[in-house]
Amino acid sequence: MQFGLIGRQLGHSFSKELHGKIGNYQYDLLELEPEQLARFFRERNFKGINVTVPYKEKVLSFLDVMSDTAQNIGAVNTVVNVKGKLFGDNTDFAGFKSLLCHNKFNVKNKKVLVLGTGGTSKTVTAVLNFFNCDNVIKVSHSGATNAVSYDDVYLKHSDADFIVNTTPVGMFADMDCVPLDISKFANLQGVADVIYNPLRTDLQLAAMGKKIKYCGGLYMLVAQAVYASALFQNIKPDATVVKKVYLELLTEKQNIVLTGMPSCGKSSVGKCLAAKLKRNFVDTDVLLAGKLGCKVDDFLKNYGESEFRKRETNIIKEISMQNGIVIATGGGAVLNGQNIKNLKHNGVVFFLDRDFNLLQVSSDRPLSDNKTKLQKMFEDRYLVYKNSADICLDGNGGVEETANLILKEWRRYNENISA
């Protein structure tokens, strides 16, 4: 291959399409087992590569020369073949530095916990030191000599100001986990997670729930790729490209999720949105009915709402792992906080707030087949819809009008993030 990414498991990677937006060259993904690494570098059949876990430290022995940055860090994520000589650099340094600056994380004279002790952890530590961080504490399960245990971090470092996760905990596809409990850190000002798939990990969502500043790894991914691409092409990196490509990739990968009362128009608006964006549309109720093998109202009558909600949660978890789709949820999906968490991993959640008088009862909705039931449902759920959404908007207009309003608010939301 000419250019590409090597690592052990790359099914989660966005790098191929990312480099397609940055440079005019073929970029491939190559999964290598540890025993294949030496042969790959011995043959040197590439012009430039990126390196990801678990090889950022292992590749050092195969290089002819390294940049000062890579040498000081002790980890490499970019290798360029220059007339048969292998030059190693660490563009993750520029990537994480850009991430902190973009999100205005001021770590000067602060205590920062860095979760993990691998190559990315070394890079993060180097950047923190560059910004005159007062105290960097590495945290590990492995018992590394330069790290504290997770038990000790709660006992001795609960006064930490920032947390940076460099571990794979919470990464696709095992997304329902956090590396530590942030509720035990009373002084916490910010959480940064280098994971970019999903777009928002459970760790980030925990920070969001506590109104603590947070960021994921997508901006870092884009920034390091821009700097790596410049090395591939032997040109100066253009920092202005980072924000542009970040916004493009974020928008492409995000799901649009619609929540709201039965008959508020989620399905109709969702189909309209999907057509405008040329995206796939998923109605979780329709998908669930197909999995159940019967009509939803029949299932509810035979097995009850509790069993229905369990099946619904399984469907939502599965769908939420996808990227770049439009999702219309069932009216009661928001009642389970796990559903909202899953939907927010890759999606922006919109609540279609439609006036009660515009809602319709229907015989095929046994939970709201008369006005009395619908009124009770509306009163019970309204605040849940509102509090669980990223964006609440007026759903009283027509299908086209509401779809256009969502597009407008969605673009504004992402532009604010990327600004």
Give catalytic residue positions. Answer: 56
The residue among 124, 115, 116, 46 whose CA lies nearest residue 92 is 124
The residue among 107, 172, 164 whose CA lies nearest residue 139 is 164
The residue among 71, 21, 28, 78 whose CA lies nearest residue 49 is 78
Residue 251: CB atoms within 10 Å: 15
**78-82 vs 85-89, strand pairing mode:** antiparallel
| Cis status, amide bond into 262, omega within 30 of 0 | no
Copy the structure tokens of residue 142: 């492995």
Per the rule left: phi > 0, alpha: psi between -120 and 50, beta: everything else, 153 is: alpha
Q: At what angle do helices 284-292 and 305-320 cross, to 10 degrees?
A: 120
Which residue in this structure is represented by tokens 């040109």?
Answer: 235
With beta carbons less than 8 A apart as the criterion, state whether 117 and 182 touch: no
With beta carbons less than 8 A apart as the criterion, state whether 227 and 94 touch: yes
